[in-house]
Amino acid sequence: MSGIHRSSSAALKNGLPPQELLDDLCSCDVLKPYVAHIDDIFKDFTSYKVRVPVTGAIILDETYERCVLVKGWKGSSWSFPRGKKSKDEEDHACAIREVLEETGFDVSNFLNKDDHIELIFGQQRVRLYIIAGVKDDTSFAPLTKKEISEIAWHRLDELQPANDDVISRGITGLKLYMVAPFLASLKSWISAHQPPIAPKPDMPLKGICVWKAKNTSIGNSIPNTMIMESQSIKPEPLRTLHLARASETLDLILHPSYKQWKLLLLLEAW
């Protein structure tokens, strides 16, 4: 394949699609015209991806002292549940959809379009709606597979950066890459709004895990956690997974509305 020389290890390290997947896709007759241009297509999509607006939610408990964070399937960083907007999708609709997918919780009845924090990272706009007053015994579990490895309530005072660098780890060691930049604005919002319930003196000092995937060694669990629910995910054979995704790509290409960049939407999952 012209211009593409990626080993499996390089693919994992660089976040690029594995060579096996590219080989499966480009062996299909309908995709062969794109083989010579795969590098340019991938670069175009990568550039497009970092400009797509992102929306999500900051879920607060009834005391406004804790928020829900999710940990990705890969790596050990935590973030507020959020995701990229689909074409012509409204901000609040995207937030509702993404939070439901990543936590299993429908925030539509809690969402106020005016209560949000918006920041710009490079060329990407990120808007998080403040979902306040959620009961701490609410059940959470992602609807997607192999995207979220853990969901937990975290105390806001434990999320403060360990120093002035907003992308540093917090005082508890948690990575705050996509959390810390929102904390100052969130604190201002909380100071202007009365929580439904007064702070609880017996509230746990550490984060409380409410959902954790089984059979994953990714990251470390939160000290003193309470696991409420879990699920077991059977690993799929690598070759079978590649062929299945190649088939999905064919379905996209045969659709009348297919555009070149849609091929890369599939590769993004890697």
256-262: average pLDDT: 42
Own/partner pairs, 120-124, CB within 8 angstroms, 24+ separation? 121/181, 122/50, 123/50, 123/51, 124/50, 124/51, 124/52, 124/53, 124/54
DSSP state of 39: H
Two tokens at 83?
Answer: 């995701």
pTM of the model: 0.68
Sequence ranges of the chain with CATH classification 3.90.79.10: 54-231
pLDDT at 195 over 80: yes
Task: Say how far apart CA 5 and CA 137 lie, in whole Å.
Answer: 50
165-178: average pLDDT: 62
CATH number (3.90.79.10, 3.30.1050.10, 3.40.50.720, 3.40.50.2000) of 54-231 reads: 3.90.79.10
33-42, 82-91, 113-122, 149-158: the lowest-pLDDT one: 33-42
Q: Give residue 11's identity as a one-letter amino acid code.
A: A
Whole-number Cα distances in Å, 22 to 19, 66, 152, 181: 5, 43, 36, 37
pLDDT level of residue 125 (50, 70, 90 thresholds): very high
What is residue 264's predicted lDDT score, i.e. its pLDDT? 46
pLDDT digits (tens, 9 = 90+) for 59-117: 999 999 999 999 999 888 899 999 999 999 999 999 999 999 999 999 999 999 999 99
Task: Say how far apart CA 149 and CA 164 lie, in whole Å.
Answer: 29
